Amino acid sequence: MDISLFDYDLPEERIAQEPAEPRDASKLLLLDRARGTWEDARFSDLPRWLRAGDCLVVNESRVIPARLIGALEGDRRPVELLMLRPLEGGRWEVLVRPGKRCSVGARVTLAGGAARATVLERRALGARAVEIEAPWPVDELMERHGLPPLPPYIERHDAPKPEDWERYQTVYAAAPGAVAAPTAGLHFTPELFGSLRAQGVAIATLTLHVGPGTFLPIRVDDVEAHRMHAETYTLPQETADAIVGARARGGQVVAVGAQGELCTRGYSVMLGYWNNEEATRGAIDAAGWMHTGDLATMDDEGYINIVGRIKDMIIRGGENVYPREIEEFLYGHPKVQDVQVIGVPDIKFGEEVMAWVRLREGQTATEEEIREYCRGKIAHYKVPRYVKFVDGFPMTVTGNFHEIATFFDSLGRMRRIVNVTDIVLSEPKDVNGKVVLSAKFLATTFMFVEPSKAAPAKPGAKPAGGRT
């Protein structure tokens, strides 16, 4: 995915310099994907979309005063250390600014000369390992002389106000270790939690220490080549039990700041793949939940709306291509109303990208126009080789995109099937004996050649060729 896809204009005057008061007075944008509408709400309205039996999971990581301002020994030029995490032997992993001044062996005085940091080694992703000499433990040094790591777009970043120490924490922060706030939770108040508990919503906690990956710049053109800093987490057994219990009751599990995969369980869900334990473990977890690979939303009446896919992948000549990425890019075309991307067989690359495009009312476009819109903006192997304009998409009875129907329609359009052989397969079946098919599985049952190399079939002739 090209990094330029994330560019957008944000005027400085639109960046709030003060938080809303009270916390839950902040705005909440509600997007109804099913109706294609959105509305402005308040965060205090959150109980409207949760109900008894649901489980709200929050991150209780606490932001540490990780910014230590010092000076380089010798010339007194300013240096900032961002304390990331402790290492073995009393060392700490830190980010330094400016990095050019902090080569191995450099010393930085801290706390007005009462402490000193010595750079011991360079580490991955621009970090340094340092040794801290101070009259206090490092945690106390930070509490005494550290600053909260406010985002740099906050003008008082280098001179925070006293109230910033409290407001840049969630009200449930407990476990120190984060170097940035889990911002999705900043809007909760004790009163809002009281309202949720009163209506029967369970509150469960885990700890994930937000690391520098949340704010460090991406220095590559292709997002997939970007390396993220690792983050540590703790999932208590009681939280796991609360999540499993909510699912067993049919309740929603709402992770603050995260999205999840649609899972289903019940008498209509298969027990597993026949004689294929590995495939079964990949699709059905220990609690019996089948992971569908779909992204979905659930409304306050329990109705589910499929909004995307997380498991689909096209492998074109060894390159992994994610249909959702291309779809999101094509949504930016002014003539495109909707789009679905699938992989179709190709004799050279194994698979090729095909886009089904529904244009906006009154608009016309050509296949080459769609491809030209993509060239130079996304990787060349992601540009759709085939484009089909449609008025709608084949859908399953559950409202999901029907990939298999689209697949066969696409093959017919490409006219690349020369002779379909007699198909005698050891067909994968579920526990009820029903044949389980997928678009990619079906693709293996045909032979494809270039149209120019195909000999015309005689009228009434039986398909030739061996068995696949």
Selection from 450, 383, 466, 443 nearest residue 418 by Cα: 450
What pLDDT does residue 66 have?
94
CB burial readout 12-48, b (16+ within 10 A) else e: eeeeeeeeeeebbeeeeeeeeeeeeeeeeeebbebee
99/444: higher pLDDT? 99
Burial class (CB in 10 A: 0-12, 13-18, 19+), 429: middle
Confidence of residue 298 (pLDDT cuts 50, 70, 90): low
CB distance 61 to 175 below 8 Å: yes
Mean pLDDT of 147-152: 91
Distance between CA atoms of residues 365 and 383, nearest Å: 16
Cis peptide before 384 (omega within 30 of 0): no
Confidence of residue 409 (pLDDT cuts 50, 70, 90): low
Confidence of residue 261 (pLDDT cuts 50, 70, 90): low
What pLDDT does residue 34 have?
62
Mean pLDDT of 319-345: 85
What pLDDT does residue 432 have?
43
173 has a pLDDT exceeding 90: yes
Selection from 424, 456, 463, 335 nearest residue 387 by Cα: 335
Q: CA dist 459 to 416, 420, 447, 462, Å?
A: 19, 15, 20, 9
Mean pLDDT of 219-235: 78
Report residue 240 as tokens: 């796991």
Confidence of residue 421 (pLDDT cuts 50, 70, 90): very low
What pLDDT does residue 416 have?
38
Q: What is the pTM of this model?
A: 0.56
What pLDDT does residue 177 have?
92
